[in-house]
Structure 1
Amino acid sequence: MKVNIIFTADEVSQSKTQGKICVVIDVLRATSVMITALENGAKRIFPFKDIETIQEKCRNLKNVIKCGERNALKIQGFDLGNSPLEFTKEKVFGKDIYMSTTNGTKAIENSIFAEKIIICSFLNVKSAAEKIIEYGKDCTIICAGTNGEFSLDDALCAGLIIKELEKHIDISLSDKLLALVRISESHDNIKDILKGSTHYSRLLALGFEKDMEHIFTLNKYSSVPEYENGYVSIK
């Protein structure tokens, strides 16, 4: 199997994704939120790049949740922000969620020409790797990044996916992929690897330490949400 890597949402294009199995990662925090919300019974998650589209689509809808962030903070007028701990069963069960974030939802929308779009974070690395193997086609891992820049948290998650894939199938590793695997092997503790990194440090400064305890729980869930027909759901 051939595995490619894209390091920011801005780099994603039709030519890089068309016909591919794409795995979208935004560890801090969009894909972690999506996985958590769906595990807690949310029906569907509709991701959009821009806030205005969500406002328009939700204008005449009832029993939906608007959520998301800009610069890590909840969007004014929205129901929830981008903390996975907000998406409890009591709040989201049976509901549709409309979501816009700085990086993650952009990465998904930019990937719409892919054959399959898998949603991954630390919470479901093992199951996501199993799903990639099940589909049996070349794969492109898309790291959402942070504001158009490389983000260590997403790269670490990508390295863990590759490491998991290597247990079961042969992968020809480029230097980029090898570097990600080496990063994933550098420490046993995710916090130790991410210490001092830009996005992680900003979220800690904003008081989201409890989010990290949840987000950094490796393979907490077995579900693998996918984006299809305009929304993310568990099939």
Structure 2
Amino acid sequence: MTESTEGRPSLEVCLSPALLHLYDVKNSIVVIIDVLRATSTICTALYNGAAKVIPVASVAECVNIGKQLGAITAGERDGKIAEGLEYGNSPFEYPRDFVEGKVLVLTTTNGTKLLHMAKDAIQIVTGSFPNLSAVCDYLVAQGKNVILGCAAWKDRVNMEDTLFAGAVVSRIRDHFNVNCDSALAAQTLYNLAKDDLFGFMQQASHYQRLARYGLEKDIRYCLTPDGANVLPLLRDGELVNAPMC
């Protein structure tokens, strides 16, 4: 979508990776959103001093790069630590005394897939509630077209990523041209849920999936704003902690 007659950049929400081909990625900043739990874990690791996070699509690639770099290899498939990897996708696995100064190689079910799909974007950043303010401040400061890309769940729209997209739209829409029904729908959903995100999420499929593994603490953290308020920015295939604008 091009800029409006008011000269404002566009703000759009892509609710699933299966829909990304419908959006003008090449002329936009893309925010990768995988609230439960990839993008929450990424910002937490960088907030706690990780040197960088390398997102990869497959477990085999994760293991190989980890061996080459002497890095932490981590990731999940369907909510559980992937076979062959050392660590999972919980933000609580990456405190400062463990991750500071280290490289984390990460593969996840949904988030890393979308990140690679958006490779032609002007810029790629990752967003989740723990770094909500950093993402919003950055997007306003850049003044470019934005696509909020939800990682979803195996291409099916999910609740938590839509809620985060709605939170961003709610905060920054006055700086953008919002002519996008999915953005308006996401904001409407967020407005319904914002007073109790954790309670609202209990009806969601991914909440129920992770709760079966006893991960309610992870879910609550991943829905709490600004606990790890840094900006992960993709540079040369690596996510680094970008200077705040």
TM-score (norm 2): 0.90
The corresponding residue for 2:191 is 185
Tell me the CA shift for residue 55 of structure 1.
Answer: 2.2
The structure with the largest helix share of the pair is 2
The corresponding residue for 1:214 is 221
Tell me the CA shift for residue 20 of structure 1.
Answer: 1.2
The corresponding residue for 1:143 is 150
Tell me the CA shift for residue 10 of structure 1.
Answer: 3.7
| 1:28 alignment partner, SS class | coil
Mark the CA change 1:108 to 1:212 in structure 2 (over 3 Å): closer, same or farther: same
Is the counterpart of residue 20 in structure 1 residue 24 in structure 2?
no
Give a deviation string over 1:185-207, Cα, whole Å, max 9, x none: 11311112212111111111111
Tell me the CA shift for residue 14 of structure 1.
Answer: 9.5
Unpaired runs of 5+ residues, structure 1, are none
- Amino acid of the residue matched to residue 178 of structure 1? L
Is the counterpart of residue 45 in structure 1 residue 53 in structure 2?
yes
| 2:67 alignment partner, SS class | coil
| 1:206 alignment partner, SS class | coil
| 2:203 alignment partner, SS class | coil
Q: Is the 8 A contact 1:10 1:107 kept in 2?
A: no
Q: Is the 8 A contact 2:27 2:121 kept in 1?
A: yes
Is the counterpart of residue 73 in structure 1 residue 80 in structure 2?
yes
Question: For 1:43-122, what aligned pairs fall within 5 Å after superposition?
Answer: 43-62=51-70, 64-122=71-129
Q: Is the 8 A contact 1:103 1:144 kept in 2?
A: yes
1:4 to 1, 6, 12: 12
1:175 to 176, 181, 185: 181
- Amino acid of the residue matched to residue 175 of structure 1? D
Instruction: Work out the CA distance in 2 between the residues paired with 1:55 and 1:86.
Output: 18
- Amino acid of the residue matched to residue 54 of structure 2? F
- Amino acid of the residue matched to residue 213 of structure 1? R
Mark the CA change 1:21 to 1:149 in structure 2 (over 3 Å): closer, same or farther: same
Instruction: Work out the CA distance in 1 between the residues paired with 2:166 and 2:91.
Output: 23
| 2:104 alignment partner, SS class | strand
- Amino acid of the residue matched to residue 63 of structure 2? Q
Q: Is the 8 A contact 1:37 1:84 kept in 2?
A: yes
Instruction: Work out the CA distance in 1 between the residues paired with 2:130 and 2:63.
Output: 30
- Amino acid of the residue matched to residue 25 of structure 1? I
The list of structure 1 runs, each at least 4 consecutive aligned residues, that deviate by more than 6 angstroms after superposition, is none
Unpaired runs of 5+ residues, structure 2, are 1-8
Same amino acid, percent of matched pairs:
28
